[in-house]
């Protein structure tokens, strides 16, 4: 049994902006189920404290660079026995709004301090210096918000082995030199081979430079980030670490209990690969919800997403507009929030085709399950996608994904052939035209119900549970110090 401290800035169902939260709950849970002593550490945001039934103060710690002591609260990950530690600094985390800022006004201006404090607390826990009598063998950090922790303990003796997982290289935690100075970090970190990145402080580099090993969330993304196109200037460092054998990719798994069409409390009519006909009830319910004509035979497309350029929303809007202008028998339902320009563009599309397009701007957990269950095909034309979870949820729900061949999308969806082989539809170029070709292929195959159903059944049988991926993490934990 290994002792694993798993550090993340968001954990479902307590606080979530994207897939990181899903993984930060379902991976520790899978490790726990495989007999590991895993504990999660996250910030004590106001929303978490409100959602948790009971927390106990188990430690009070002083952190370098911060005046007030910080409490460590203990609780359990909801619906599990997994120990959850919350770093409680009300000044930094007890506020209304999201974990990184407010949708209208951007990032919190003190994010450098907030996540430096979080990283410092992680380091204290990792070194068993909080008086909790628990010395982890492995510190597993996730994304930039935890990036300083591996750096802070790198030179210490008797430290745990460290793994840093990149969920998205696009968000690096870059701050000014002044902010670096204000954080009281060791001067020697201000170096190209440390945390400095073109005269800025990079939290992400803390993980990339100082962790024993780096992983990312799909094998393809692990290769892509070593190239200029996807590396954001970090491709040299990442290639170097890859050459050392210190960068790998493990495809995310999904929580098979939470995402299970046979027992999904959010959906109208549960179904399985053997009782696929019932999926139609969910389609009708979704069409009703979005006030679209309840036509069983139109191809109902859907997407659920943060509305950011990464996700190729503009490609979807343009390609679907062309399809609808040409009179194709398709409908589209969308759920998302983010960039106001994309929100407006979606509303414009809806206004132009009110009986073909449904749009919900916002965040809605229940509706996200209903869309996965109700649509025929899921559109995910991401410009880059480290892993992507919605295509995995789609496969499990017999909803065929239409994806760009990048990152985890390329690693999880098999392109259709004319004989009903494959589990979805792939295309390469990030252009509306290329997506349109894939949409037309899907539309053509949808006219052949036997082949479509064959693909649905194949998709539903693919196993993206955590079983294999959690085992891959365990093997990686064992290799960290090699």
Contact footprint for ligand GLC (CB under 6 A): 18-20, 23, 167-168, 217, 252, 385-389, 408
CA-nearest of 73, 77, 78, 80 to 33 is 80
Binding-site ranges for ligand ADP (CB under 6 A): 18-20, 22, 304-306, 335-337, 363-365, 368, 387-390
To which residue do tokens 């002591």 refer?
A: 69
Q: Which does 336 bind (CB under 5 to 8 A by kind): ligand ADP, ligand GLC, none?
A: ligand ADP
User: 335 or 480: whose CB is closer to ligand ADP?
Assistant: 335
- In the complex, minimum distance from the CB of residue 336 to ligand ADP, in angstroms, rounded to a whole number: 5
Q: Which residue's Cβ has the minimum distance to ligand GLC?
A: 19
Asked if 93 contacts 49 with a C-beta cutoff of 8 angstroms, the reply is no
Q: Which residue's Cβ has the minimum distance to ligand ADP?
A: 19
CA-nearest of 350, 400, 408 to 382 is 408
User: 21 or 116: whose CB is closer to ligand ADP?
Assistant: 21
- In the complex, minimum distance from the CB of residue 12 to ligand ADP, in angstroms, rounded to a whole number: 8
User: 298 or 315: whose CB is closer to ligand ADP?
Assistant: 315
To which residue do tokens 């934990």 refer?
A: 477
User: 25 or 152: whose CB is closer to ligand ADP?
Assistant: 25
Q: Which does 224 bind (CB under 5 to 8 A by kind): ligand GLC, ligand ADP, none?
A: none
- In the complex, minimum distance from the CB of residue 368 to ligand ADP, in angstroms, rounded to a whole number: 4
User: 6 or 446: whose CB is closer to ligand ADP?
Assistant: 6
The DSSP annotation for 138-205 comes to EEEEESGGGTHHHHHHTT-TTPPEEEEEES-TT---EE-HHHHHHTT--GGGSSTTTTEETTEEEHHH
Q: Which does 217 bind (CB under 5 to 8 A by kind): ligand ADP, ligand GLC, none?
A: ligand GLC
What number of other Cβ atoms are within 10 A of residue 389's Cβ? 24
Q: What angle do CA 79, 83, 85 make, to 5 degrees?
A: 115
User: 152 or 251: whose CB is closer to ligand ADP?
Assistant: 251
Q: Which does 363 bind (CB under 5 to 8 A by kind): ligand ADP, ligand GLC, none?
A: ligand ADP
Q: Which does 335 bind (CB under 5 to 8 A by kind): ligand ADP, ligand GLC, none?
A: ligand ADP
CA distance readout (Å), 182 to 77, 89, 119, 201, 446: 34, 18, 15, 12, 59
Angle between helices 466-479 and 19-33 (to 10 degrees): 80
What number of other Cβ atoms are within 10 A of residue 343's Cβ? 18
Asked if 393 contacts 267 with a C-beta cutoff of 8 angstroms, the reply is no
- In the complex, minimum distance from the CB of residue 385 to ligand GLC, in angstroms, rounded to a whole number: 5
């Amino acid at each position: 049994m290994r002792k694993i401290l798993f550090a993340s800035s968001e954990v479902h169902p307590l606080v979530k902006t994207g897939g990181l939260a899903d993984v930060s709950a379902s991976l520790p849970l899978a490790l726990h189920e495989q007999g590991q002593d895993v504990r999660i550490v996250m910030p004590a945001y106001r929303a978490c404290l409100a959602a948790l039934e009971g927390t106990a103060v188990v430690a009070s710690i002083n952190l370098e660079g911060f005046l007030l002591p910080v409490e460590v609260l203990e609780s359990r990950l909801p619906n599990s026995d997994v120990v959850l530690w919350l770093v409680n600094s009300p000044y930094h985390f007890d506020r209304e709004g999201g974990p990184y800022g407010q949708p209208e006004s951007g990032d919190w201006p003190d994010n450098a301090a907030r996540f430096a404090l979080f990283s410092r607390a992680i380091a204290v826990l990792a070194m068993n210096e909080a008086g909790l009598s628990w010395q982890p063998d492995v510190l597993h950090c996730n994304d930039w918000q935890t990036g300083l922790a591996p750096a802070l303990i790198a030179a210490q003796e008797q430290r745990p082995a460290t793994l840093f997982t990149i969920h998205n290289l696009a968000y690096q935690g870059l701050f000014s030199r002044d902010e670096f100075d204000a954080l009281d970090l060791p001067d020697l970190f201000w170096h190209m081979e440390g945390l400095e990145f073109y005269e800025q402080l990079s939290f992400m580099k803390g993980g990339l430079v100082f962790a024993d090993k780096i992983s990312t969330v799909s094998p393809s993304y692990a290769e892509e980030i070593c190239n200029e196109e996807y590396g954001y200037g970090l491709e040299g460092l990442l290639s170097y670490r890859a050459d050392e054998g210190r960068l790998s990719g493990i495809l995310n798994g999904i929580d098979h209990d939470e995402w299970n069409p046979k027992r999904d409390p959010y959906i109208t009519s549960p179904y399985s690969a053997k009782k696929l006909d019932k999926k139609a009830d969910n389609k009708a319910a979704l069409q009703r919800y979005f006030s679209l004509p309840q036509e069983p035979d139109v191809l109902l497309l859907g997407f659920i997403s943060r509305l950011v350029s990464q996700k190729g929303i503009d490609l979807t809007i343009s390609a679907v507009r062309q399809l609808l202008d040409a009179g194709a028998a398709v409908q589209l339902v969308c759920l998302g929030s983010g960039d106001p320009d994309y929100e407006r563009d979606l509303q414009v599309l809806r206004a132009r085709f009110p009986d073909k397009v449904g749009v919900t701007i916002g965040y809605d957990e229940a509706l996200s399950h209903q869309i996965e269950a109700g649509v025929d095909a899921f559109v995910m034309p991401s410009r880059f996608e480290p892993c992507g979870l919605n295509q995995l949820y789609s496969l499990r729900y017999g909803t065929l994904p239409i994806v760009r061949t990048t990152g985890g999308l390329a690693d999880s969806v098999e392109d259709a052939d004319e004989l009903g082989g494959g589990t979805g539809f792939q295309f390469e170029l990030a252009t509306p035209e290329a997506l349109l070709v894939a949409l037309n292929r899907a539309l053509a195959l949808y006219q052949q119900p036997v082949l479509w159903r064959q693909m649905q059944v194949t998709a539903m049988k693919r196993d993206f549970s955590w079983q294999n991926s959690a085992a891959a993490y365990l093997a990686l934990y064992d290799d960290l110090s090699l």
